[in-house]
Chains A and B, each alone.
Chain A
Amino acid sequence: MKVLVAIKRVVDYSVHVRIRADGSGVETDNVKMSMNPFDEIALEEAIRLKEQGRATEVIAVSIGNTACQETLRSALAMGADRAILVETAHYLEPLAIAKILTALVIQENISLCLLGKQAIDSDDNMVGQMLAGLLDWPQAMFASKIEFTTENRVRVTREVDKGLTTLDLTLPAVISADLRLNQPRYLSLPNIMKARSKPLAVVPLTTLSIDTTPRTTLIKVSAPDKRRTGMRVATAAELVNKLRAAGVLP
């Protein structure tokens, strides 16, 4: 079973994002970049499947500019066997990403795609579902538990608004990872060294002949209304009085 994990390079979760003065987007120059946390969880799960002897190969794929190679090196250091960067300088919509991944899935003869449920920059939460749709594969999104019951059957528990729901999927399938699926491992120095010699293929997007023309235009990026810092109260009784005065408590 070959497993493909999609990896996105994003502004680190701990960074307070700054909006560019011209409203063209969020400042990414000289900002700490990391692997999208949900993708890290997806990758950890794939590596565990390899360690259990279920996966034969874990392929990390990223789509973006040349700096994504650094993120893919981290993926290799975590334990991916090899990496592919589909290189482009342009912003791509989730549908275009899903189309590129579809082409790679077919080319690489993949049985399981693991993705993060959403990227913490665009917050779209779409690529996995779109990929499953394009491939006509079953999907289990927002997974908090993955358990193989046979060679090609997997039981997935999903986190949903009303609680949890469990599905059985027959491979090939697409699964997206939620926060509580696992705790990704830390990179060790020997593994970081070893990752340097693992294969990382760079494929220019233009060689794939996939139409990735955007179907939307970003008009502007703006800051949300800022909340004013309110007041401190000294006691619970004072708090109740203030809340009654504000009309939010009877």
Chain B
Amino acid sequence: MTILIIAEHDNQQLDSVNYRTLTAARELTGDIDVLLVGDVSEMLVTAARQLPHIHRVYCASAAVYAAQLPENTAPLIATLAKSYDYVLMAATTTAKNILPRVAALLDISMLADVVQIVSADTFVRPIYAGNALATIKSHEKIKLLTIRATGFAAAAAASSSVTLAPLETMDTQLTAQRVQFISTENHVSARPSLSAARIVISGGRGLKSAENFKLLEGLADQLGAAIGASRAAVDANFAPNDWQVGQTGKIVAPDLYIAIGISGAIQHLAGMKDSKVIVAINTDPDAPIFSIADFGLVGDFLKILPEFRVALGETEQTQG
């Protein structure tokens, strides 16, 4: 059996989510190859070749692939995919954009957001915002899967002294027809990314204003945490869209998830209920979020937040 992982990257760096896809791939049997598509840096190629347990790296690097448009990357991936039994991608917006198009080109029925591999052809994926789990057997010759990161632990990185996996360069240059990449607006932050953070602090509409929402930043920096938001908070412009946690936003499962001013709509719970420890802080003692929280604190966050920071030892830190 052979497995192809299509790597998630930003042309410069390998996303840490690939290590989770790799764990899923290792639960299947077969040689694992990795494909890089983009306009990729030397550093990225080396990082991909250093991935543990892999057989070889294919690299299709050209300016035409820089934006990873499905119009030209999907045909490229489809051609390579034909010689594999499995094609895996981390369930990111990049994969959700590209892989179904690959599936259509190959006439394959694919499975999204796999959280568990039961056997060589049977997989578990959440449906209904994670309120049900579907166990599905695929009869397809090639299994196309997107892998939900929260379902798999990260494979340990190889030491840098490890031998580099062989590299095969693909010199195709397909043009994306009738589509032009204009721009991208990345919300850069010094904080860890939502999907990789050990601690996530999320705010909801209960914070009442963008100014109040900003107060979460001090706490996040103190804890080295990422900041998330409920849909309501994003809709109210308290936070940018890429901070949204939920059924249709990011799915996270950190060690600690602190929900502040979030009532706990089903759609939000879908994005965070697999967190190890959940804390809810809310003025409404009947908020549904409390039903899934390990620790609940009823009260006004404007009063609680400073107390929380003091209890964490902020006073000593600022004085020292």
| Interface residue from A17, A160, A173 paired with B128 (Cβ < 8 Å) | A17
Q: Which of B46-54, B110-118, B162-170 contacts A (4 or more CB under 8 A)?
A: B110-118
Counting chain A residues whose Cβ lies within 8 A of the other chain, the interface size class is: 35 or more
Q: Is A106 an interface residue (CB 8 A)?
A: no
Contact indicator per residue, chain A 133-173, by CB within 8 Å of chain B (1) or not (0) = 11011111110100000000001000111111111111001
In the complex, the answer to whether B94 meets A160 with C-beta atoms within 8 Å is yes
Interface residues in B265-313 by Cβ distance below 8 A to A read 266-267, 273, 276-279, 290-298, 304, 307-308, 310-312
Could you say which residues of chain A place their CB within 8 Å of the CB of B187?
A: 162-163
Given contacts A216-B136, A242-B295, contact A180 B235 (CB under 8 A): yes
Of all chain B residues, the one with the shortest Cβ separation from A93 is B109
| Interface residue from A164, A215, A229 paired with B109 (Cβ < 8 Å) | A215
Number of B residues, CB within 8 Å of A = 90
Q: Is A108 an interface residue (CB 8 A)?
A: no
In the complex, the answer to whether B112 meets A126 with C-beta atoms within 8 Å is yes
Could you say which residues of chain A place their CB within 8 Å of the CB of B311?
A: 236-237, 239-241
Q: Is A243 an interface residue (CB 8 A)?
A: yes
Could you say which residues of chain B place their CB within 8 Å of the CB of A136?
A: 177
Interface residues in A202-248 by Cβ distance below 8 A to B read 214-224, 227, 229-237, 239-243, 246, 248
Could you say which residues of chain B place their CB within 8 Å of the CB of A200?
A: none
Could you say which residues of chain A place their CB within 8 Å of the CB of B312?
A: 240, 249
Please, how many angstroms separate the alpha-carbon atoms of A241 and B292 in the complex? 20
Could you say which residues of chain B place their CB within 8 Å of the CB of A219?
A: 122, 135-137
Given contacts A134-B104, A159-B241, A162-B186, contact A167 B179 (CB under 8 A): yes
Given contacts A19-B132, A120-B129, A123-B247, contact A243 B277 (CB under 8 A): yes
A contacts with B: majority SS? mixed
B contacts with A: majority SS? mixed
Q: Is A33 an interface residue (CB 8 A)?
A: no
Q: Is A70 an interface residue (CB 8 A)?
A: no
Please, how many angstroms separate the alpha-carbon atoms of A123 and B240 in the complex? 23
Could you say which residues of chain A place their CB within 8 Å of the CB of B295?
A: 230-233, 239, 242-243
In the complex, the answer to whether B128 meets A123 with C-beta atoms within 8 Å is yes
Could you say which residues of chain A place their CB within 8 Å of the CB of B217?
A: none
Could you say which residues of chain A place their CB within 8 Å of the CB of B76?
A: none
Q: Is B138 an interface residue (CB 8 A)?
A: yes
In the complex, the answer to whether A95 meets B132 with C-beta atoms within 8 Å is no
Could you say which residues of chain A place their CB within 8 Å of the CB of B130?
A: 224
Interface residues in B43-92 by Cβ distance below 8 A to A read 67, 69-71, 74, 92
Please, how many angstroms separate the alpha-carbon atoms of A56 and B70 in the complex? 29
In the complex, the answer to whether B304 meets A236 with C-beta atoms within 8 Å is yes
Q: Is A82 an interface residue (CB 8 A)?
A: no
Binding site for A on B (CB under 8 A): 10, 67, 69-71, 74, 92-94, 96-105, 107-113, 122, 126-140, 176-187, 195, 199, 223, 231, 234-235, 240-242, 247-248, 250, 255-256, 266-267, 273, 276-279, 290-298, 304, 307-308, 310-312
Add 15 more A-B contacts to A11-B128, A13-B266 (CB < 8 A): A125-B112, A132-B104, A159-B242, A161-B93, A162-B184, A163-B242, A168-B182, A215-B139, A216-B137, A227-B273, A230-B278, A232-B296, A232-B298, A239-B279, A243-B256
Show 8 residue pairs from A and B whose CB-CB distance is below 8 angstroms, ordered by the A residue: A19-B132, A162-B187, A167-B179, A216-B137, A216-B140, A229-B291, A230-B295, A248-B256
